[in-house]
Every structure is written in structure tokens, then in C-alpha cells.
Amino acid sequence: ALIVEGAATLERALGAEHPANARGQRVLAHAARLRGEVPMAIDHARRALALAESAVGRDHISLAPYLESLANGLSQAGRGEEAIAVLDRGVALAPPRPLHDVALARLHARRGEVYSFFDPTRALAAHEQAYALARSALGEQHRLTVRSMVAMGSLLGELGRDAEASETLGVALLIGKTVLGAEHPDVATMHNALAIQYERVGDLERALEHHLAMLQVLPRLHGPDAYPLAGGHGNVCTMMFRLERAVEAVPHCR
């Protein structure tokens, strides 16, 4: 409600076509995505981009967040190819100077996320670009760098490169715990990625170890009865049954 009110006030004060309305439209797009109103999100994102373009043209680096917003909506709508085209346009922005490596890393990471739904090879290449850029600009221990490592590790596993996948994910978890702390949401995601990788290669004991580690973090992040815990308990339940530990599994299933 505050976002809607703020955007409307801005439009009344400046006029509907003033470029400064672009920011309000982009935030409206984000709010619509969070509510699951994807067509509305895309409309707001397109409006935001058009307003920003009216001030700076089609190739200015300040358009990067507006293109990313539109791509997010398109991806959420299942329109991956369109989202990639929008993100490719973002990567090519140049005036008045090339995009900073951090902005490029974000765009390539988003490309990787979109490609992961239909082309894991291209997804891996995009995340490798994101990782190289983030590592150069921010160092090995920055959150953006570590997130790229996790994405790379998961995709390496999907592509059958299991040894590389386990090593990459293991290093990411070690850095994540050191930099972010053992109870950070990103660390929970790393445990989940490692659990999936160990399941993929048939090491169920180690997969269970990481499912349990993730489940320990979730209540502290979300509370004892929050919906995300359902997935965590379900994973532990399934893994314990596969390991013929049914008595231990039942409480998690329940």
C-alpha cells in the first residue's frame, strides 16, 4: 500500500510522463512479482523501462536495473527466451562508459538463472562469467561471488561433472560459513545444493548430513512452524527411509 501511494503521489506531482516515475514503476513491478501478479509486474516493468529510456535513450548504463526487472517478470511468466534477450541487451549497455563489473556479474548471474530452466550448458557459462567478474571486483569472500560458486557447482552436477561439483560446492560452503555465519540463509541453500549433489552420486549418508544441517538452520530463519520447514522435514524423511532408518524418519514425515 505504501508503494502504491508513493508512486501515485510522485505521478501527481511530476506528471505521468516524467522520467522520475520510472523508479516508482520498477518498485511496483517488484511488489507485483512478490504477490504473484506476474502480468501486472511485466506491465509495470515495461512502463518503468520506457520512462527511463525517455530520459537517457536505449543504451545508457542506468537502464540496467530496469532491464533486469523486466527480465525477472518474463522469467517468472515462463518466457525464458524473451528474458534472455532482455538481459543480453543489459550486458551490452555502454554509454557513457562500460558497465561496472559488479553490475555485469549480476546480469550474467540472472542470465544463468534463466538458462538453468532450459539450457544447463549455457547456464553454467553465464554463471562462470558472473563468478569471474564478481571475484575480480569483490574478492572470493563476497556474497555475490559465493552465490555464483553455488550455482556453478549445482550445474556441474546436473551436467555429470560430479567431482568438480562436489569440490566447488564444498569450497562455497566453507567460505559461506566463514563469511556469512552458519545460520545465514545462503548457507542453508548451500547445504541443500550439497545434499542434492550427494544424492545424485548415491552417497545417501552425506546427503542426509546436509539435509539435517539445513533443517537445523530453517527454524532459526523462519520460526518453528513456518512453511519452509515442510520441505526440510520431507527431505530428511525421504533420505532416512532410503537408508532404512524408518523409525527415525516417521517424526519428520509427520
Give the chain's mean pLDDT: 95
Q: Give pLDDT tens digits for 214-238.
A: 999 999 888 888 898 999 999 999 9
Q: How confident is the model over 162-180, as a mean pLDDT?
A: 95
Cell 530428511 -> residue: 236
Q: Give pLDDT tens digits for 91-127.
A: 999 999 999 999 999 999 999 999 999 999 999 999 9
- The one-letter amino acid code at 82 reads E
Look at residue 174 in the predicted model and tell me its pLDDT. 95
* Alpha carbons 106 and 170: distance in angstroms, whole number: 23
Largest CA distance in the chain: 67
The phi and psi torsions of 100 (rounded to 5 degrees) equal -65, 150
Residue 243 DSSP one-character state: T
In 112-162, which ranges are E strands?
none
Look at residue 228 in the predicted model and tell me its pLDDT. 87
Look at residue 220 in the predicted model and tell me its pLDDT. 87
Residue 182 has pLDDT above 90, yes or no: no
Do the Cβ atoms of 217 and 187 come closer than 8 Å?
Answer: yes
What percent of the chain stands above pLDDT 90?
A: 93
Do the Cβ atoms of 134 and 144 come closer than 8 Å?
Answer: yes
Do the Cβ atoms of 214 and 187 come closer than 8 Å?
Answer: no
Residue 183 DSSP one-character state: T
Look at residue 124 in the predicted model and tell me its pLDDT. 98
Residue 183 has pLDDT above 90, yes or no: no
* CA nearest to 197, candidates 134, 232, 153: 153
Q: Give pLDDT tens digits for 139-158.
A: 999 999 999 999 999 999 99
CA within 13 Å, CB half, 3: 12
